[in-house]
Amino acid sequence: MHVARWAYAPSILPALIVAAGLLPARALATPAEPRTIDLRWEAPDGCPPADEVRSEIARLLGASEQRQPIDVAIAVAREGDTRLRLDLRIRAPAPGERVLHGDDCASMARAAALIVAMSIDPDAVARTAAAEPAQPEAPAAPRESAPRPPPRARDRAPRRPHPTAEAPPAVDERDVEGALWLSAQIEQALVPAIGVGLAAGGGIRSGWFRADGAAGVVPSSSSRIAGLTAGAEFRLWFLEVDACARSIERPLGVYVCALGRQNWLLARGREVDEAFTLTTPIFAAGLGTLLEWRIAAPLKIEGALHAVVPLRRPRFVVENLEGIVYRPPAVGLSARLGLALAF
């Protein structure tokens, strides 16, 4: 009996060594830090909640090793009875912007989640798609206990393709937006007194950039020679091109703009011995800001204020009379306020 008891010791000792070796490994194993997804979600009634979009992003990333905080803002707005516009802006880990158009808010939300996940770790999204089981449209299994023979090749239901980056949910995606606008024009830069006129134009918006072209008229402004009743009536026509960069997006779009403007200043004599009409071309450059506020898709209110510098400053005088009727200032102001229609 004494010998048999010690005969089992060699088999117990290795097991104790293995168990002791596992203790440090299990003690050192720590779970991965949870992924932080900071999602700001604005959407009308009938759209998925923010938690559902956040969960879809996390599901697509799966076991991705990329653990940087995700900071994304998504806003959905109606453009008509059924049309929707989705503005997506990723701030971290890699900044980016996209615009989607469609009719189904749920599909657009899934597409936005896919875009966010692909921008962070496309390999992880591909692994998640590959790991998902196929879901063929197969009929219900028969209830009888006998095994059913396997279907022939021509009877098998087609396998659905896995979602990939090249085939997101079907939505109408456009990165470029067009617009037409009509505004009241308030001019002080190239007319003698503050004049009110009309301007109309249009342009394109793409991401943070917008470009506009416009034409306008300020129909009436007058000036006279100091101490005399003689003077002139002025009318201003202009063609303008603006290039703007967006500095703030929501809730109010704020742009910094540069402009170039070709002006034609027409002067007609007033209370002078000999009537005269004179038209002078003046090119001017400017710098300022533009504000836009979407009141109801696709309608916006827009306002702009620019400092304008004429590159030439002609003198308007009346023959045989001393004094200057008008000369444009070195720097003046130009403003507009009106409505824009996006499409």
Instruction: Write down the mean pLDDT value for the chain.
Output: 80
pLDDT tens string 292-339: 998 877 899 999 999 999 999 998 887 777 788 899 999 999 999 999
Quick one: what percent of the chain has pLDDT higher than 90? 40
Q: How far apart are CA 18 and CA 9, in angstroms?
A: 15
Q: How far apart are CA 165 and CA 114, in angstroms?
A: 8
pLDDT of residue 135: 54
Question: Residue 72 is encoded by which pair of tokens?
Answer: 């994304």
Q: How far apart are CA 267 and CA 278, in angstroms?
A: 5
Q: At residue 205, does pLDDT exceed 70?
A: yes
With H, G, I as helix, E, B as strand and everything else as coil, classify residue 226. coil
Q: At residue 92, does pLDDT exceed 90?
A: no
CA neighbor of 205 nearest in space, from 85, 110, 118, 78: 85
pTM over 0.85: no
Residue 54 neighbours by CB distance under 10 Å: 18
Alpha helix (H) residue ranges in the chain? 2-7, 9-28, 50-61, 105-120, 122-131
261 near 308, Cβ under 8 Å? yes
| Strand locations in 188-319 (E) | 195-206, 209-224, 231-248, 253-270, 277-296, 299-310, 316-317
Residues 9-32, mean pLDDT to the nearest whole number: 44
Residue 321: C-alpha distances to residues 172, 206, 227, 313 (Å)? 67, 54, 11, 20
User: Which has the minimum average pLDDT: 31-35, 145-149, 237-241?
Assistant: 145-149
Q: Which residue's structure tokens are 């700001």? A: 40
